[in-house]
Structure 1
Amino acid sequence: MTAAIKDLFRQRILVLDGAMGTMIQAEDLDEADFRGQRFADHASDLKGNNDLLALTQPDIIKAIHLGFLEAGADILCTNTFNSTSISQADYGLEDIVGDLNFEAAKLARAAADETTANTPDKPRFVAGVLGPTNRTASMSPDVNDPGFRNITFDDLVAAYTDALQGLVDGGVDLLLIETIFDTLNSKAAIYATLKYFDDHDIRLPLMISGTITDASGRTLSGQTPEAFWNAIAHARPISVGFNCALGVEELRPHIQEIATVAGVNISVYPNAGLPNEFGGYDDTPEHMAEHLGEFARSGFVNIVGGCCGTTPDHIRAIAAAVDGITPRPIPDNPPHCRLSGLEPLNFGGVTGFVNVGERTNVSGSARFADLIREGEFNKALDIARDQVDGGAQIIDINMDDALLDGEAAMTTFVNLIAAEPDISRVPVMLDSSKFSIIQAGLKCLQGKGVVNSISLKEGEGPFIEQAR
C-alpha cells in the first residue's frame, strides 16, 4: 500500500477530505445523541466530544466519510483529532482512547474500501489523525511563570503511543500529525510514532501539517515555516504542509516558502476563510478552488483539501480545480546542516564561521555558574541574551556541575529560554558529558539543535542508541 501511495504522488495531485467537525455540527446532535446507550450515565457532559461519535453514532461518521469520498477525496482523515488521553480528560474518558482510535479507523477504512470497490481504478486511503492536544509543551499557560509547563514531552509520548495502537489496529494506511501549533508537541508525536514503528517492526507513511496562526507567518509557538521544517525533517515524512487557522489566500506565502525548502510532498488544506462574527466560515467552494488551483499551477502543492468550514461541495470543487495539473516536483536540495530555533540556521557554501556563544556554560563562565547555583535563572537569561545580541548564532548550554541537579537545571533554563524570542530565535547547543542531561534538554527543545556530545567510550551499541 505504501508503494501505491508513493506512486500516486508522482502521477497527480491528491485530494484530502474536508471538515468532519463542520459536517457533525450540521447534524444538530443533542446531549443524548453524543451519549448513546454506552455513556448514558456518564458523569460529565459529552456534547461537543465529536470523536465519541465513532462509538455512539457510527452511521453518521461513516456517512460523512462517504460524502467526502463521493466528492473526490483520495485520502480520508479519521475522526480522531481529540482521541488522546490528554484531550479526552476534559470529558473523563481517558480510558476509552484505544476504542476511539480503533473504531474511528475501522469506520474510515470501511468507507474507503467500499468506495474503492466501486471505483477500483481510483484507490482511496485512510490517514490516522494525531491531533495537537489541548496542551503546549514549549509554552507556559501562566504568564507569571514562563518556565512552568502543564504537560511534559514524556506525557505526550505516552498519550500518542496509546492512540497509535488503535489507529494501526483499525487499518490506517498513513499517519497524519496535524494542526501543529507547538512544534515540541509534534516532535513528541514523531518520537512516539518512530518508536512504535521500531517496536512493532512496521512502517507507514507519515504526513505532518503545521498551523500558521496569524499574519506574522509563524506558528503559535513562534517558528517560521522553514524553522518548522528544519525541526521536523528528521521524521522523513511523506509530506509536510499547513492547515487550519487561516484561509487559502492568507496561507499562500507560507506554502510557497515551505515548498521551496522541503524535499518532500507539500500539503495544504486551509479553512474556508477566517471565522466570521458568528463563528462560521464564508469562503465558497468556487473561491477556494480558484486559489488552490492557482497553487497547483504555480507548482506549490502535491496534496490539497479543506479544514474548518469545508464541505463535500468544497472538496468537489477543489478536486476539479487541480485535476490534470502536474504535481509539484520534489526539489533535490543539497544535504546541508539545517538547524532552527524560532528561525532557521542553514549551513551552506557561503555560511562562513558560525559563532557559538559559550557563556551559558557553568564550566565556562563563573558568573553564569554562580547564578545557576543560586537559582537565579532569570538573571542568567541576560547572559544568553547578551550573547545573541553580540552575534552568537547558536548558544551553548552546559549544566555539568557537581553541586547541581543537571537535568533539572537544564530543563528549567531551556524552558525559560523558550519564552524569550530574542534568545530562542537561534538554535541551542546542548552541552553535557551526561546523556541524561542532554535528553532533558532535547525534551524541551522545539527547534533543531546540536548535541555536544555523545561518546564511543561506552561502546558502539550505546553510541548508536543515543544517536538515534
Structure 2
Amino acid sequence: MHALPWLHPDRVASLQAALRDRILVIDGAMGTMIQRHGLDEADYRGERFASGYDSQRDTPAGGGRDLKGNNDLLLLTRPDLIAGIHTAYLEAGADLVETNTFNATAVSQADYGLEHLVRELNFEGARVARACCDAVAARDGRPRFVIGVLGPTSRTASISPDVNDPGFRNTSFDELRDTYRDAIEGLIEGGADALMVETIFDTLNAKAALYAIEEAFDARGGRLPVMISGTITDASGRTLSGQTAEAFYASVAHGRPLSVGLNCALGAKDLRAHVDTLATVADCHVSAHPNAGLPNAFGGYDETPEEMASVLREFAQSGLLNLVGGCCGTTPEHIRAIADAVAGVPPRRPHATQALAA
C-alpha cells in the first residue's frame, strides 16, 4: 500500500508503545469548562453567524433559533477558547484529548438549523486539537494524541420516543450512518489519530457509526485505531437499550477496537463493577472516563479531584485500566490528580493484541 497522507504510522506506533508501557490519561469534560466562561449568544454566533445567516456559506443559519449552547459551533466562532481548554488538559497531564465534536452530526445540529456544517465542524475539531497536541508535545518531547469524537446524537434508533407508539422511530440506521460518514471524513482530514464512538446509550446507533467507519476506511484503503465507550445509564447496570456491559462488548467487538470502555452517567464508584466486567471479557484495551460523581440538586458535580483520583487509582491497582480520564463535571484539576494517581501503576494486559492500523 502506498503511503496515505491522512495516515501517520509513527503516531499510531507511538500510541501502541505508550499503551504497552503505562496507563494513558484521557482529558476531562469540555462542556464543564465552556460553562466556566459564561458565554452569551454573541460568543456562539461570532461574526460569521451574527445576522442569522452563514456569511461564509451564503446560506441561512439558525432559522431564528438561539445558537447559545451549541458548543461544537465554538470551533468556528471561538476556536481560541476551545484550544485553551485542550491545552489546559494537556498541561494537566492528558495524553489524549477528545475533539469538541460530540454533537457535530446532522441529527444534533438540526436543533440549530446548522446541518450543513457537519464536515466542517469535525475537520476543525480535529485540526484545533491536533495543533494543541503538537504544540505541547514540541515543548516536552512526549507525544500527545487526538481522539476524534463521534457522539451518540440526540435520537435513538432502537427505542420509540412516543410511549403511545412503540414502533415509531425518529431516526434510522441509514440516516445515522450517512451523517456519521460526513463526520468521520472531517475528523480524518483534520488530523485525528483515533476515532471514538462514545457515550453510547443505544448500541444500534453505535453500530451505524461503526459501519460508517468501516466504509470510510475501505474507501480510503487504510485504518485508524477505533475506540468505543458505552454508557451505563443507572443502577440497573444496563445501557438505555438494555444491554449489560458484557453484552455491549459482545455487540461491538466486531469493530476491532483499540479499546472498549465506559463513560458518563455514573461516577467512578458506581462504574467500578461494570469496568471490572469489561476487563474480564475484553481482548482489547479497557478505558474509563466517569463523571465527577452524580449530579447534585442543581445539576452540578461535587466530587473533588482527590476523591475521584483515589477511586480510579484503585481501578488501576486492580488491573482494570489501560486508559482513564473524566467526563461530566471534571476539570484540569481532576485530570492532574488522576494522572498523578495512576502514574507508575502497570497497565492492564489485554487478553490478545489486535491489529490497529493497516
Task: With the length of structure 2 as denominator, give the TM-score of the two structures.
Answer: 0.92
1:353-412 CA-partner distances (Å, limit 9, x unpaired): xxxxxxxxxxxxxxxxxxxxxxxxxxxxxxxxxxxxxxxxxxxxxxxxxxxxxxxxxxxx
1:137-167 CA-partner distances (Å, limit 9, x unpaired): 1111111111111111000000100101111
Alignment of structure 1 residues 171-186 onto 2, 5 Å: 171-186=191-206
Q: 1:78 aligns with which of 78, 90, 99?
A: 99
RMSD over aligned Cα atoms: 0.9
Q: 2:172 aligns with which of 149, 152, 159?
A: 152
Cα distance in 2 for partners of 1:274, 1:188 equals 30
Q: 1:97 aligns with which of 100, 118, 131?
A: 118
Counterpart of 1:34 in structure 2 is: 44
Counterpart of 2:339 in structure 1 is: 319
2:231 partner letter: T
Counterpart of 1:202 in structure 2 is: 222
Equivalent pairs: percent with the same residue? 64
1:91-147 CA-partner distances (Å, limit 9, x unpaired): 000001111111111110000000010011x10000000000001011111111111
Which fold has the larger relative contact order, with Cα–Cα distance below 8 Å and residues 6 or more apart in sequence? 2
Residue correspondences, number: 332
Q: 1:20 aligns with which of 6, 18, 30?
A: 30
Q: 1:245 aligns with which of 257, 262, 265?
A: 265
1:55-103 CA-partner distances (Å, limit 9, x unpaired): 0001000000000000000001000000001100000000011111111
2:234 partner letter: D
Cα distance in 1 for partners of 2:33, 2:153 equals 21
1:411-433 CA-partner distances (Å, limit 9, x unpaired): xxxxxxxxxxxxxxxxxxxxxxx
Q: Is the 8 A contact 2:284 2:352 kept in 1?
A: no
Counterpart of 1:218 in structure 2 is: 238
Counterpart of 1:277 in structure 2 is: 297
Q: Is the 8 A contact 2:283 2:351 kept in 1?
A: yes
Alignment of structure 1 residues 386-465 onto 2, 5 Å: none
Cα distance in 2 for partners of 1:3, 1:138 equals 37
Cα distance in 1 for partners of 2:140, 2:213 equals 32
1:204 CA displacement: 0.3
Cα distance in 2 for partners of 1:265, 1:208 equals 10
- Which of 323-332 and 302-311 deviates more? 323-332
- Which of 238-247 and 96-105 deviates more? 96-105
Task: With the length of structure 1 as denominator, give the TM-score of the two structures.
Answer: 0.70
Is 1:302 aligned with 2:322? yes
The SS at the match of 1:229 is: helix
Stretches of structure 2 that go unaligned for 5 or more consecutive residues are 1-10, 53-63, 354-358
Is 1:263 aligned with 2:283? yes
1:259 CA displacement: 0.7
Q: 1:64 aligns with which of 62, 78, 85?
A: 85
2:103 partner letter: N
Is 1:167 aligned with 2:187? yes
Deviation >4 Å, runs of 4+: none
1:282-322 CA-partner distances (Å, limit 9, x unpaired): 00000010010000000001000000000000000000000
Cα distance in 2 for partners of 1:41, 1:302 equals 47
Q: 1:127 aligns with which of 147, 153, 158?
A: 147
1:205 partner letter: P
Counterpart of 2:210 in structure 1 is: 190
1:240-266 CA-partner distances (Å, limit 9, x unpaired): 000000001000000001110010000
Counterpart of 2:129 in structure 1 is: 108
The SS at the match of 1:222 is: coil
1:331 CA displacement: 2.0
1:38 CA displacement: 0.4
1:321-371 CA-partner distances (Å, limit 9, x unpaired): 0000000011259xxxxxxxxxxxxxxxxxxxxxxxxxxxxxxxxxxxxxx
Is 1:328 aligned with 2:328? no
The SS at the match of 2:148 is: strand
Counterpart of 1:384 in structure 2 is: none
Q: 1:230 aligns with which of 242, 250, 270?
A: 250
The SS at the match of 1:294 is: helix
Stretches of structure 1 that go unaligned for 5 or more consecutive residues are 334-468
Cα distance in 2 for partners of 1:332, 1:67 equals 34
1:190 partner letter: L
1:320 partner letter: D
The SS at the match of 1:226 is: helix
1:84 partner letter: T
2:44 partner letter: F
1:44 CA displacement: 1.7
2:200 partner letter: I
1:57 partner letter: R
